[in-house]
C-alpha cells in the first residue's frame, strides 16, 4: 500500500445504537463467535492509517463490549440521537463536536464505519483514507444492484452519478448502484487543489452484506461457514 504524502490524524467513528426494529440488539449478536460490532472495531484497529477508533452509542452494555475490544467510548450518546428516526449525520457531528469541546481534539480526516457491515478489507479502507489524505473532500462506497426498491443511482456517460426516483423512467441496459455503510469519509484539511468526492464500488457480495434483519445475520454466518470471507486474523 502506497503511504499518504504526510501524516494526517484520522478518526474512525462507529455509530451503534441499542435498539433496532429489524433485528433487536443486532450490534451485540454473535457472528463467528464474537459480537457483531467487534468486526468493525477490529478492522479499524488493524488499519494502519486510522489513529483513533471511537464507538458512539447510547447503550452502556454495548459500550462495555466496545471497550473490551479496544475501542474508545468517551461518553454515552443522548437518547434523542439513537431513535429509529434519528439522523446518522447528526449523531456523528455530535460525537466529533463533543470530543472537540471536551478534549480540544479535531481530526482532519474522519471516517464512519457502520457496525452492520462486518466484512471489510483493511487494504480497501486504507486506500480510501489515503484518497481523503491526498485531497478528496469526501469518499462514499457503493454496491451494484440488479433491482431496486425506492430510488437508485447509475453512472452516466460523463462519469457522474445520477439518481433515478422512478423505475419506469430508467433504462434497463445500465448498471445501478446504491450507497453502502462500508465507509463514509470526509476531510477538513485544505488541500493544495480540491478534488471532487471519490466513489468506490465494492463488488464482492460478501463485503456488501448489511445486517438489518435476522436473515442477513444468517447469511453472514453462512459466509463464514463456507470460507467466503478470507480477511480474518
Whether residue 208 contacts residue 143, with contact meaning beta carbons closer than 8 Å, is answered with yes
Neighbours of 120 (CB within 10 A): 24
Instruction: Identify the band that residue 229 occupies on the pLDDT scale cut at 50, 70 and 90.
Output: confident
Question: How confident is the model over 106-139, as pLDDT tens digits?
Answer: 999 999 999 999 999 999 999 999 999 988 999 9
Higher pLDDT, 148 or 166: 166
When pLDDT is cut at 50, 70 and 90, the band that residue 3 belongs to is very low
Q: What was the pLDDT predicted at 114?
A: 96
- Only one residue has cell 489513529, namely 51
d(CA 31, CA 27): 10
- The whole-number pLDDT of residue 4 equals 42
pLDDT at position 175 is 66
List Cα–Cα distances, 82 to 77, 92, 181, in angstroms.
7, 11, 17
Nearest to 99 by CA among 47, 50, 44, 55: 55
Quote the CA–CA distance of 97 and 209 in Å, as a whole number: 30
Q: Over the range 80-104, which residues count as b (16 or more CB within 10 Å of their CB) and which as e?
A: ebbeeebeeeebbebbbebbeeeee
| Residue 83 vs residues 64, 88, 92: alpha-carbon distances, Å | 20, 10, 14
- What are the strands, taking DSSP E only, across 128-175? 138-145, 152-155, 161-164
The domains of the chain, with CATH numbers, are 10-134+181-188+209-225 (3.90.550.10)
According to the model, what pLDDT value does residue 178 have?
82
Return the C-alpha cell found at 169.
Answer: 423512467
Q: What is the mean pLDDT of residues 60-79?
A: 95
3-state secondary structure of 149: coil
Report pLDDT for 21: 80
Distances (CA, A) of 200 to 22, 80, 172: 28, 32, 23
The pLDDT value given to residue 146: 62
Instruction: Kindly indicate the confidence band of residue 55, based on its pLDDT and cuts at 50, 70 and 90.
Output: very high
Amino acid at each position: 500500500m502506497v503511504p499518504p504524502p504526510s501524516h494526517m490524524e484520522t478518526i474512525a467513528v462507529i455509530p451503534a445504537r441499542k435498539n433496532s426494529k429489524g433485528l433487536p440488539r443486532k450490534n451485540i449478536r454473535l457472528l463467528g463467535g464474537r459480537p457483531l460490532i467487534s468486526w468493525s472495531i477490529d478492522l479499524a484497529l488493524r488499519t494502519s492509517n486510522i489513529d483513533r477508533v471511537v464507538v458512539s452509542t447510547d447503550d452502556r452494555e454495548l459500550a462495555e463490549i466496545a471497550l473490551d475490544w479496544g475501542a474508545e467510548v468517551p461518553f454515552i450518546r443522548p437518547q434523542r440521537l439513537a431513535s429509529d428516526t434519528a439522523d446518522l449525520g447528526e449523531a456523528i457531528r455530535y460525537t466529533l463536536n463533543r470530543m472537540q469541546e471536551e478534549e480540544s481534539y479535531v481530526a482532519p480526516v474522519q471516517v464512519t464505519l457502520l457496525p452492520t457491515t462486518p466484512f471489510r478489507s483493511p487494504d480497501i479502507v486504507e486506500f480510501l483514507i489515503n484518497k481523503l489524505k491526498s485531497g478528496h473532500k469526501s469518499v462514499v462506497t457503493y454496491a451494484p444492484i440488479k433491482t431496486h426498491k425506492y430510488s437508485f443511482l447509475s453512472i452516466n456517460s460523463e462519469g457522474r452519478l445520477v439518481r433515478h426516483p422512478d423505475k419506469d423512467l430508467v433504462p434497463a441496459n445500465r448498471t445501478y448502484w446504491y450507497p453502502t455503510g462500508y465507509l463514509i469519509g470526509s476531510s477538513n484539511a485544505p488541500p493544495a487543489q480540491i478534488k471532487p468526492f471519490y466513489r468506490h464500488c465494492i463488488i464482492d457480495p460478501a463485503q456488501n452484506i448489511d445486517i438489518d434483519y435476522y436473515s442477513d445475520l444468517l447469511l453472514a454466518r453462512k459466509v463464514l461457514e463456507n470460507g467466503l470471507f478470507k480477511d480474518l486474523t
